[in-house]
Amino acid sequence: MKNIEDREHPSTAEAKTYWKSLWGQEAQHNERAEWIIREQKRKISLMDWRPIQIPEIALYLLKAHNWKSPGNDQIQNYGLRLFQLLTGILQKKTSMQ
């Protein structure tokens, strides 16, 4: 492997110049590319929307590892399991009143 030399971060002006050289020019695209034509001819049907059901979430949480986070929220699966437990308890209490 080749070692990469550590250097100072580029200045704001250098960064702007670099990105402007990449994004500042209009790109030339091949509008008649084979894959574009093929995609335009495909008949794509819309997906049917259906709400996520509580049993689906429960099944996922049973399989998930406790201390891993499923997404950007950074809430570990352990916390989601507790939340699921609390929602069940709260639902029972509200139905009793």
pLDDT tens readout for residues 41-87: 888 888 888 888 878 877 887 888 888 776 777 778 778 778 777 77
**What is the reported pTM?**
0.36
- For residue 82, being part of any structural domain is answered with yes
- For residue 14, being part of any structural domain is answered with no
Cβ atoms of 44 and 34 within 8 Å: the answer is no
Provide the domain limits for residue 57.
Answer: 52-64+77-97
Distance CA 18, CA 12 (A): 10
- For residue 58, being part of any structural domain is answered with yes
Helices (H), the chain: 12-23, 34-41, 54-63, 77-96
- For residue 56, being part of any structural domain is answered with yes
| Number of domains into which the chain is organized | 1
What band does 1 get if pLDDT is binned at 50, 70 and 90?
A: low
